[in-house]
Structure 1
Amino acid sequence: MIKKENNFNVAVVGAGPAGMIAAGRAAELDAKVILVEKNKKPGRKLLLTGKGRCNITNAEFNLRKLVENYGGKGRFLFHAFSAFGPRDVIAFFEKLGLKTKTERGKRVFPFSDKSEDVLKTLIKYLVKNKANIVYDSEIIGVNYQNHKIKKLILKDGEIKATNYIFCTGGKSYPLTGSTGDGFRWAKDLGHHIKELSPALVPIKTKESWVKELQGLSLKNVEISIFQKGKKKSSEFGECLFTHFGLSGPIILDISKKVGEFLRNGEVKISLDLKPALDFAKLDGRVQRDFKKYQNKSFKNCLTDLLPHKLIPIIVKFSNIDPEKKANSITREERHNLVKLLKNLEMTAGGLLGFDSAIVTSGGISLEEIDDKTMKSKIINNLFFAGEIIDIDGPSGGFNLQNCWSTGHLAGENAAK
């Protein structure tokens, strides 16, 4: 039980990445810190990131380019990134004994490929700086008066501190404890919450044939989204077919825009299977394959061009007789095939929910947070950090970088 007389300089709520680094940084500056977590263990969601490998950050060291990854709201992170950017994050973990490596797309991972090693390093940081940590402690209320938080009310006690940092995350992966508690408290305290929606989430498609491709992963393809015949956005990289539709890095990155456009009507998804080749070059490639397999039936002459699992679908939609010999296929039929390879079309049926989302889009209004300190402009002794803030980025380590930078900045300023 936490007793009333246990007063702290800083109370941090939420032992996720933002909360752990905020608490550690404040304690490192000699503040008396308590980190409160409602789960029995810290970092439950962190352990799931990067498919269990934990994509710590993105080694984009150009500040301008880094900020651009967060869209128009990225400017809000400029100061936080200047103070504690990707290079600082890598150095932070390396100094604590965690070796890192940089992979394709500048994605930074622990050398061990184990997210639990990242969590162990953060706990080591907290212990080293003597931060107090309490688990299995759910906050049931926030007591405030005259624009200041007076205390946090728990089921088994209360916590008083000079300053408070909310690092409660969003609503994604609620089974890990991200159930939107911080949004409710912030709203009660007078903050505005920008509409919450799942981001970095798989997309459902309406076509039943997609299920036949379940498990098929395609690299170096391009996904484009269209509405009313106009191209709205595109992404290049890897995608994965599932029993409900599409997933994979480029699908997750484009999902937020799909969700936004779906509010205005139907969204078409176009898959370019050979984006490196324009129509003429791809047509030439197909001609060479047809010549190579000139005496084979059409259904058996695409093996050099496509994954085995995809061939029946392409054959079906090409409207070319599967048994037709390659040397009998007409120019028009071949051109229609090339068009299909450049535009395999699907219809977006919606997004999966928060249960499947990696991050939450929306959150505490940026207009109500001081970007140089992460301090609330409404509550004088409250700071925010991490996913609770109305900003999110693409996959590739950008969302964790947001947590590290805003958490570090909040912890530093709350300790003053």
Structure 2
Amino acid sequence: MEERKTIAVIGAGAAGLMAALAAAEAGAAVTIYEKMGRPGRKIGITGKGRCNVTHVGERERFLKNMVGNGKFLYSAWNALDNDALREMLRCAGVETKEERGGRVFPVSEKAADVVAAFEHTLRRLGVAFRLKTPVQELWQEDERLCGVTLADGRREKADAVILATGGASYPGTGSTGDGYRMAEAAGHTLTPLQPALVPLEVEEEWVKELMGLSLRNVEASLWVDEKCVASEFGEMLFTHFGLSGPIILTLSRQAVMAVAAGSFVEIRVNLKPALTEEVLDKRLARDFASLGRKKAVHCLDELLPASLRPVVLDLAFINTAKEIGQLTREERHRLLELLQALPFTVTGARPLAEAIVTAGGVCVNEVDPRTMKSKKVEGLYLAGEVLDIDGNTGGFNLQAAFSTGYLAGRSAAQ
């Protein structure tokens, strides 16, 4: 009888859990090494604890939204696409539902249910969990991977090792960049790490006055050296340091790279994107005529949230004690411009530790996309955020982790 292949999986996040599942289903004897006290810590906080597991749509939509090396993921997607993932979860007892914009969540809206389903399935398949067991390095001899070296110096053999340690964001979940160090020590090249899907810091001090204000159905556009390079429609949030929320996070990757390149970077927010300039101007003129003798402080009462009105009026250099009927055409035009392009000067991003996703990582041209096998080290496979792959918000990054993990696990077991 043929002896079972032994596989060590480093990391019990989305990629690691899926890799272990695929390898175990293929008949391998699998051990997961996880330095935290329980698996799936980062899964547990995704989607504000609801777990945005994936996104509906065809392959091309998925690859388009994987803005960091999306083409690398063709084979991984074909191995496990969004429909296959949802069916796998359903069979494990987790029904899913589609929400606005195509995002997919568990019906229970509990990320913990997804983690529990994986853990139950893996234990049923005989996968061994080594929790609170950090791996120090990959154990190599003569350019061949022999297994793993633990933090206490002990070595444990494995026929193959799957590196699925995640990125360097949210270090409290265990993602502290260990995988990058191990991969580099084994001979892999790293693309510089940068925060992706991260809140942005802005120069304007008055943004603190808007802290906590959430805006829906607005359009944020990213301007680099006075040229519009991207725009997103949806929801955003003001913070004490700048801007956050889904549409800001989606624009953040390009913004971070532009700031790093020394460009002048702005976010301009259209507060009324459903109205053309002409229609909005007529709306303002009509409102001003009807409000005539009221003070200018009230001229935006019907258009903006209370905390935003004084900010916009101040930026338009309007004396709020002035009667609305006395506002000039030039003043109305300045308001119009601000309503359609409220500007923010981007100075940088929050630290990598606060990013949802890490951009950069192990160079994908050093990994076989058909198997997730290392081209540098025999017996090593890589999956998930440790690779130089990253995508937009909306479930794309979790799908990428699950897909690459599945392909790595299946390949390693063969």
TM-score range, shorter chain: over 0.9
Instruction: Tell me which residue corresponds to 2:358.
Output: 360
Alignment of 1:186-197 (within 5 A): 186-197=183-194
1:178 aligns with 2:201: no
1:89 aligns with 2:85: yes
Amino acid at match of 1:368: E
Instruction: Tell me which residue corresponds to 1:40.
Output: 37
Per-residue CA deviations over 1:317-341 (Å, capped at 9, x if unaligned) read 1112212222222222211110111
Would you say the 8 A contact 1:8–1:34 is kept in 2?
no
Between the aligned residues of both structures, percent identity stands at 44
Which moves more between the two structures, 293-302 or 92-101?
293-302
Would you say the 8 A contact 2:68–2:390 is kept in 1?
no
Instruction: Tell me which residue corresponds to 2:49.
Output: 52
Amino acid at match of 2:147: K
**Counterpart of 1:112 in 2: which secondary structure?**
coil
Would you say the 8 A contact 1:374–1:384 is kept in 2?
yes
Alignment of 1:151-162 (within 5 A): 151-156=147-152, 157-162=154-159
Find 1:340's aligned residue among 338, 341, 345.
338
Would you say the 8 A contact 2:139–2:155 is kept in 1?
no
Q: How far apart, in 2, do the equivalents of 1:118 and 1:151 lie?
A: 29
Would you say the 8 A contact 2:147–2:160 is kept in 1?
no
Q: How far apart, in 2, do the equivalents of 1:318 and 1:295 lie?
A: 20
Shift of residue 358, structure 1, vs aligned partner: 0.5
Shift of residue 8, structure 1, vs aligned partner: 5.7
Would you say the 8 A contact 1:222–1:273 is kept in 2?
yes
Q: How far apart, in 2, do the equivalents of 1:143 and 1:80 lie?
A: 27
1:145 aligns with 2:141: yes
Shift of residue 291, structure 1, vs aligned partner: 3.0
Shift of residue 124, structure 1, vs aligned partner: 1.4
Instruction: Tell me which residue corresponds to 2:389.
Output: 391
Per-residue CA deviations over 1:179-201 (Å, capped at 9, x if unaligned) read 11111111111110111111111
Would you say the 8 A contact 2:68–2:388 is kept in 1?
no
Amino acid at match of 1:329: L
Amino acid at match of 2:110: K
Would you say the 8 A contact 1:93–1:99 is kept in 2?
yes
Q: How far apart, in 2, do the equivalents of 1:66 and 1:152 lie?
A: 34
Q: How far apart, in 2, do the equivalents of 1:266 and 1:130 lie?
A: 55
Would you say the 8 A contact 1:8–1:160 is kept in 2?
no
Shift of residue 346, structure 1, vs aligned partner: 1.3
Q: How far apart, in 2, do the equivalents of 1:71 and 1:247 lie?
A: 19
Q: How far apart, in 2, do the equivalents of 1:154 and 1:238 lie?
A: 44
Which moves more between the two structures, 71-80 or 250-259?
71-80
**Counterpart of 2:158 in 1: which secondary structure?**
strand
Instruction: Tell me which residue corresponds to 1:116.
Output: 112
Instruction: Tell me which residue corresponds to 1:371.
Output: 369
Would you say the 8 A contact 2:51–2:106 is kept in 1?
yes
1:215 aligns with 2:217: no
CA RMSD of aligned residues (A): 1.5
Amino acid at match of 2:10: V
Q: Which runs of 4+ in 1 moved over 3 A?
A: none
Q: How far apart, in 1, do the equivalents of 2:295 and 2:45 lie?
A: 46
**Counterpart of 1:322 in 2: which secondary structure?**
coil
Alignment of 1:258-407 (within 5 A): 258-262=255-259, 263-407=261-405
Q: How far apart, in 2, do the equivalents of 1:17 and 1:228 lie?
A: 38
Q: How far apart, in 1, do the equivalents of 2:137 and 2:364 lie?
A: 24
1:31 aligns with 2:28: yes
Instruction: Tell me which residue corresponds to 1:4.
Output: none
Aligned residues: 410
Which moves more between the two structures, 299-308 or 263-272?
263-272
**TM-score (normalizing by structure 1):** 0.96
Q: Where does structure 1 lack aligned partners over 5 or more consecutive residues?
A: 1-6
Shift of residue 298, structure 1, vs aligned partner: 1.6
1:234 aligns with 2:242: no
Shift of residue 72, structure 1, vs aligned partner: 6.4
